Amino acid sequence: MIPHIHRNSDFAVEALAAALGRPIAEQDVLGDLIVARSALEDDLADDDRCAWMLADWWEHLDEPTVMFPWGTGGPGGLQEPIFHVAVRLHPNDRQLTPPEWSQIAHRLADATGVAPTDDAQACRWVALQAQPGRLDLIANLIRLDGRWAHHHNLHQSLAAECRRIESDLGLVPARPTLHRTYTARPPARHTELPNPSATQSPASVAAQLANLMCQLADEKTGPIASVRGLVEQAAHRLDDLPHSYGPAAGHRLELIARRLHGIQQDLEATAADLPGAKQRAPVASPPATAPHTSHRRTL
C-alpha cells in the first residue's frame, strides 16, 4: 500500500475531482463510492446522505472554513485547509470488500490526526473508493472547535499505519517509503528472435515469440513496466508543482502511462493467442487518468 499526500487546497471540490479521476458535475451522486465519513452533526439519515450530490459533499467539507474564517492557520503557516491523501494497493493485491475499505479509511483518519479516536471535535472528512485499488481520504483540517489539526510526524505515522494495514489484511507489502519511488530496472535478458530453420516447427517458433512478448509485458521485470513506473512517478511530482504548468504536464504523463499499459495488455493478448503460450504476463490494473483541472468554487 503506497500513500501519496497531495498539495493542500482551498476548497474540497479540487480534491474530490482528483479522487474521482474524471470530469465532475455538481449533480453527481457519489452513493456507494463513499466508503467512510466523519459523523454528521445533524440528524440526517443515512438514506438521505446516500442521495447527496457532489455539491452537498464539498459544501459539507468546506463549511468549517466558513464557520471559522479568522483562524490562525495550520502548522508552518499553512493556509489551505483541505487535506487529501490517497493510498494505492499493490497490483497483485486481492480485491478488498467495502467493509475493509471502510476500516482502512478510519485507520488512516486516526493515523493522520484528522479524526483521532473518541475525539468529538475532530475534522470533517470523507473517504472515496472511486478508482480501482485506490482510496482517497479528504478532510478539512479546521476542527469543529475552530482549531487546526496538527500532526508533527505525519509522514512517518502514515507510512507506519500503511505497513500495519498490509500486515493485518494480508496485503502485498510495499517499499518502506512515503512517496512512490521507481528506479529503472535492468532490462530483462534479451531473447533472440528465432531464425528460420528447417529443424524448427512453426509452433516452436511461435512459442519462442510468445515467450519474448510475455517478457516484454511482464509487470515485475519487463522494460515497459519499468518505463511506465518512471512516467507515473514524474506525473505525481508534476502534480505538486505550481498550477501554471504542473498539473497539465502531469495529466499528459498519466495518459502516456495508460498507453504504455495498453501496449502491455496488447502484447499479453497476442502472446496468449499464439500456439505454445503457457504463461500470461501479469499486467497491473490500468493507471488512473489524471483529473482535469477544475475551477475553484467561490464562497
Asked if residue 297 lies in contact with residue 13, where contact means CB atoms within 8 angstroms, the answer is: yes
DSSP 274: S
Give dist(CA 17, CA 282) in Å, integer: 30
**Confidence band of 195 (pLDDT split at 50, 70, 90):** low
Q: What is the pLDDT of residues 96-143, one digit of tens each?
A: 999 999 999 999 999 999 999 889 899 999 999 999 999 999 999 999
DSSP helix/strand/coil, 134? strand
Q: pTM (2 decimals)?
A: 0.59
10 Å Cβ neighbour count for 97?
10
CATH code, domain with 132 = 3.30.930
Residue 175 lies in a domain: no
Residue 195 lies in a domain: yes
Residue 177 lies in a domain: no
CA 17 to chain CA centroid, nearest Å: 13
Cell (9 digits) for 184: 529503472
Paired with 139 in beta bridges are 83, 125
Residue 236 lies in a domain: yes
Q: Say yes or no: 157 and 206 in one domain.
A: no
Q: Say yes or no: 282 and 220 in one domain.
A: yes
Torsion, Cα of 64, 68, 71, 75 (10° steps): -10
Q: Say yes or no: 155 and 39 in one domain.
A: yes
Q: Among residues 115, 141, 169, which one ends one of the domains?
A: 169
pLDDT score at 289: 46
Q: Say yes or no: 165 and 217 in one domain.
A: no
Q: Say yes or no: 151 and 192 in one domain.
A: no
- Look at the alpha carbons of 168, 171, 173, 176 in this order and tell me if their dihedral is positive or negative: negative
Residue 70 lies in a domain: yes
Q: Say yes or no: 34 and 154 in one domain.
A: yes
Cell (9 digits) for 96: 478488498
DSSP H helix total and E strand total for the chain: 8, 5
Instruction: Give burial (CB, 10 Å; 0-12/13-18/19+) of 188.
Output: middle
Q: Say yes or no: 217 and 90 in one domain.
A: no
Listed in sequence order, the residues at least 6 apart from 286 whose beta carbon sits closer than 8 Å to its beta carbon are 132, 258, 261
Q: Say yes or no: 160 and 205 in one domain.
A: no
Q: Among residues 141, 169, 197, which one ends one of the domains?
A: 169
Helical spans, DSSP H, in 75-201: 98-111, 154-169
Residue 176 lies in a domain: no
Q: What is the pLDDT of residues 79-94, one digit of tens each?
A: 889 999 999 998 888 9
Q: Give the number of domains in the chain.
A: 2
Q: Say yes or no: 148 and 214 in one domain.
A: no
Residue 14 lies in a domain: yes
Give the highest mean pLDDT range of 98-112, 142-156, 212-226.
98-112
Q: Say yes or no: 162 and 187 in one domain.
A: no
Q: Among residues 110, 138, 169, which one ends one of the domains?
A: 169
Query: Which residue range forms the structural domain that includes residue 90?
Result: 2-169
Residue 277: name the closest of 222, 224, 214, 232 by CA: 214
Q: Say yes or no: 19 and 160 in one domain.
A: yes
More confident residue, 198 or 276: 276
DSSP helix/strand/coil, 248? helix
Q: Say yes or no: 105 and 10 in one domain.
A: yes
Q: What is the pLDDT of residues 38-64, one digit of tens each?
A: 986 554 545 465 678 888 898 999 999
Asked if residue 179 lies in contact with residue 101, where contact means CB atoms within 8 angstroms, the answer is: no
Listed in sequence order, the residues at least 6 apart from 182 whose beta carbon sits closer than 8 Å to its beta carbon are 226, 229, 230, 232, 233
Cell (9 digits) for 232: 507515473
Q: Residue length, the chain?
A: 299
Specify the residue for cell string 479521476: 21
